[in-house]
Amino acid sequence: MEKILQIFIIIPFIGFILSLITPRMKENLISRTAFGFVGLNLLCISIFVIYWIYSGHPNLNLNEILVYQTTGYEFLLDFYFDKISMVYLLVGSFLTFLVTIYSRYYLHRERGYKRFFNTVLFFYLGYNITVLSGNFETLFLGWEILGISSFLLISFYRERYLPVKNAIKVFSIYRIGDVGLLLVMWLSHHLWHENVSFMKLNNYELVHEHLQYHSVIGVFISSMILLSAAAKSAQFPFSSWLPRAMEGPTPSSAIFYGSLSVHIGVFLLLRTFPFWDYQYSVRVLIAFVGLITAILGGLTARVQSSVKSQIAYASLAQIGIIFIEVAAGFENLALIHFAGNAFLRTYQLLVSPSVVSYLIKEQFYNFTPRKHSAENSLPNRLKYTIYLFSLKEWNLDWFMSEYIWMPIKRAGRKMSFMNFNTISIVFAILFFSGLIAFQMEKSIPEIFHRFLSEFYALFGLILVLKSFTERENLWHSFTLIIMNNFMVAMAISFNEHFEFAHTVLYLSGIVFAGFVGYFSLNLLKKREQQIDLTQFYGHSYKHPRLAFLFLLVCMALSGFPITPTFIGEDLIYSHIGENQAVLALIVSLSFIIDGLALIRIYSRLFLGAPIKRFHEVGFRSS
């Protein structure tokens, strides 16, 4: 029975590949491919679930797909199926099938028709991988696919300013969640000394035995799980990104931010519940985050002027309540609540354009004053204060900008005294010195050897900070990102048991993507003469294939699962010792800013209003 689980990944993958090669003008064929393969998958899942229930609903685990193996390390694609996967898989398949049929007519004659269905099928593939994942590595694979497909659908109307800006903002929050999962994988390697499967987490005796003498590590892993779940499900303090994600088409808003993608944080908590079940401080923290989100989201939803924003805040308020249910141990209730919330928000978002026009008509012809509400019993000063805070969305967007992103930008700007030539010389000296030190490692005094890894990682962080704040020279920014990856590889090389082959594996993806990236940028330079990072150029309008190629380059350089860099990142974390928290923090910050710098380069070159305005464009106020 376990072998059947692969079918639910293979069917959407084939659909995605066929959708990619279908001609752009064949609207009927594109849409039929999408809802045909999603419908086929829904039918297979329904039959399988009936058979699974009839067979006594056993927990199924498939871990035969070995991607990479070396001494003390295995990268397994592990698939797991239980009632949690069953609910998520059924709900996800049905809603995706519904939305693909709806989108066939809603997006008729839209310029990005094919691009939309390609991205939806890509999302559906990532969603299935995520909900069927049997370990953190497989979950991270699907998690990354969800992140990049979210970015692409929010920026679907890429000729406009706000969708592109908000897509970058959402991606930056997702990047925090990505690194939270990387840190979970890092300490899980040290806690279990293997790539632990979710099936093993259900073994209470095994989990208790490992956490008995490593309680601090257990709390840290659980906190990082909560961080990733909160970022993905728009919980406090990350709530402000969800309404901004509604810039995409209504069908993508329905399937992503009303029903499926936004509930993946809940899935992560449900899947890892046996691990943090007896960590009561973590359970209280999860419930507290859910409670704050439910209160703030509910209040903010009531004052929104946009119907999509209103639905978004109402949805995240309900997810906050689901967080409380999960923390209280009500697993079945949380699953029922998830399904109900997903169906309701999908319906509300799909009918929202019709409802808006209907309400406008009613407002003019059948206006009825609002009846007495609960807020009227509050003192006026308190009522007006809550109203103003809710209008400002409790300043959560300002909080994220002021205390997370602005310090990173300020740190990068303080390095303006270092020009690119100076940095290149220092990089060359440090890199070749590192190679020599690696060969003579045994003769290096212990006091120096202890800090070598942190030193090289810190220099790599400085490089990527400089890249993130580079405003003019595109080539400098792109080169600094590649240099950062070489510094990270050098930093980990000084740790025990890190073989030269691991460095080659990690850097092979970086080097190949770097060459393709330089080729893409040179080609764009020949066609457009001047390219820099001072504004959004919108070159994807004239050069869609080049834009797609450079997007693949950015994904490869940021460790997306299409190159060996993805496995290399996991290898790097597995070789950072549990007592090297500073090194893990520096490497994590490097990966966060690395991804943001890359997506910033891509957005400024290929997204936004086209610089050559001989056709219709959407301006800043769109």
pLDDT digit string, tens, across residues 409-458: 787 777 777 788 888 888 888 888 888 877 776 667 666 666 788 888 89
Name the 3-class secondary structure at 414: coil
Considering the domain architecture, whether residues 9 and 155 belong to the same structural domain is answered as yes
The DSSP symbol for 371 reads P
**Per-residue confidence (pLDDT) for residue 361, from 0 to 100:** 59
The number of domains in the chain is 2
Which pLDDT value is given to residue 446?
Answer: 65
Averaged pLDDT, 502-521: 88
Q: Are residues 283 and 427 in the same domain?
A: no
Residue 68 CB partners (closer than 8 Å, separation 6+):
74, 75, 505, 567
Residues 107 and 168 in one domain: yes
Mean pLDDT for 232-256 is 85
- The confidence score (pLDDT) of residue 188 equals 84
Q: Which amino acid is at 518?
A: Y
Q: For residue 364, what are the contacts with CB-CB under 8 A and spacing of at least 6?
A: none
Is residue 274 located within the same domain as residue 420?
A: no
Same domain, 342 and 451: no
DSSP 530: -
pLDDT(155) > 70: yes
Instruction: Assess whether 190 and 66 both reside in one domain.
Output: yes
Three-state DSSP state, 77: strand
Instruction: Report how many helices (DSSP H) and strands (DSSP E) the chain contains, helices first.
Output: 26, 2
Same domain, 527 and 430: yes
Position 321 in a domain: yes
Is 559 found in the same domain as 422? yes
Determine, yes or no, domain membership for 393.
no
- Mean predicted lDDT score pLDDT of the chain: 85
Q: Is 408 contained in some domain?
A: no
pLDDT over 50 (residue 228): yes
Say whether pLDDT at 103 is over 70: yes
Is the domain of 182 the same as that of 313? Answer: yes
Average pLDDT over residues 166-174: 88
pLDDT the model gives residue 491: 84
What distances in angstroms separate CA 194 from CA 59, 190, 571, 578, one per listed residue? 21, 8, 12, 14
**How far apart are alpha carbons 474 and 462 in whole angstroms?**
17
pLDDT of residue 622: 42
What is the pLDDT averaged over residues 277-281?
A: 86
Mean pLDDT of 234-262: 85
Among the residue ranges 11-25, 31-45, 58-72, 543-557, the one predicted with the least confidence is 58-72
Residue 9 covered by a domain: yes
420 in the same domain as 273: no
Please provide the DSSP assignment of 349-363 as one string. Answer: HHHHHHHHHHHHHHH
Which secondary structure element, helix H or strand E, spans residue 63, and what is its range? Answer: strand 60-70
Separation CA 449–CA 400 (nearest Å)? 37
Backbone phi, psi, residue 66, to 5°: -95, 115
| Whether residues 420 and 328 fall in one domain | no
In a domain, 396, yes or no: no
Residue 400 lies in a domain: no
In a shared domain, residues 75 and 214:
yes
Q: Give the pTM.
A: 0.91
Show the domain range for 136.
Answer: 2-361
pLDDT exceeds cutoff 60 at 364: no
List b or e across 504-529, with b for residues whose CB sees 16 or more CB atoms inside 10 angstroms: ebbbebbebbbebbeebbeebeeeee
